């Protein structure tokens, strides 16, 4: 089981590296809605990782039709996995949508070291001290940038960290073919 998990993680890292380079592992984009995507992601992640406490809140009013692919999904999983590693007892995922889709992941771990925050988005920027450390966050930053969005991280005043991913809806929304702007 551990070996299968590591193989799956390697595949997802390879997918992210290829996506950051503008390539894919032939995993086709799929159509869904914003709510369905994040409800499914939250459920899949919780089932796969089984954290003691996982708080998921979808506070998104609008539920636009969107297109998603493995890169977007893996980006969220990477951020959640990092939060769980830092905070094994509690992770939170929140989603809201106004002009942009905003995904917020919070944890109760030690927070980011100042040097890590200053170099956010650079490869191998990690305090984990192991090979490959920092690649997940690097790839997540690049997926967000590729979609015209951004990934920001900060420490919470009460301890722990918050990672916020902001994606413009225009980058992922599917235009309604019946809405041609004419009345």
Longest CA–CA separation in the chain, Å = 60
Query: Residue 65: how many CB atoms within 10 A of its CB?
Result: 14
Angstrom distance (rounded) from CA 146 to CA 123? 16
User: What are the start-end ranges of the E strands in the chain?
Assistant: 30-33, 54-58, 65-68, 91-97, 100-107, 150-155, 161-168
pTM metric for this prediction: 0.80
Q: Is the pLDDT confidence value at 14 over 90?
A: no
93-108 pLDDT, tens digit per residue, is: 999 987 899 999 999 9
Under the banding of pLDDT at 50, 70 and 90, the label for residue 24 is very low
CA nearest to 94, candidates 68, 56, 67, 122: 56
Query: Residue 19: how many CB atoms within 10 A of its CB?
Result: 22
39-74 pLDDT, tens digit per residue, is: 999 999 999 999 999 999 999 888 999 998 888 888
Q: Is the pLDDT confidence value at 25 over 90?
A: no
């Amino acid at each position: 089981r551990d070996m299968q998990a590591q193989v799956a993680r390697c595949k997802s890292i390879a997918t992210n590296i290829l996506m950051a380079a503008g390539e894919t592992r032939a995993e086709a984009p799929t159509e869904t809605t914003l709510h369905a995507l994040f409800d499914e992601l939250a459920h899949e992640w919780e089932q796969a990782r089984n954290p003691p406490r996982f708080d998921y809140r979808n506070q998104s009013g609008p539920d636009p039709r969107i297109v998603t692919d493995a890169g977007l999904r893996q980006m969220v999983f990477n951020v959640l996995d990092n939060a769980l590693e830092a905070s094994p007892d509690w992770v939170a995922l929140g989603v809201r949508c106004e002009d942009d889709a905003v995904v917020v992941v919070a944890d109760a771990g030690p927070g980011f070291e100042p040097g890590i925050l200053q170099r956010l988005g650079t490869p191998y920027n990690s305090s984990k001290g192991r090979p490959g450390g920092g690649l997940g966050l690097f790839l997540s930053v690049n997926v967000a940038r590729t979609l015209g969005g951004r990934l920001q991280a900060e420490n919470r005043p009460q301890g722990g960290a918050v990672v916020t991913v902001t994606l413009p809806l225009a980058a992922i929304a599917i235009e309604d073919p019946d809405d041609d702007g004419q009345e």
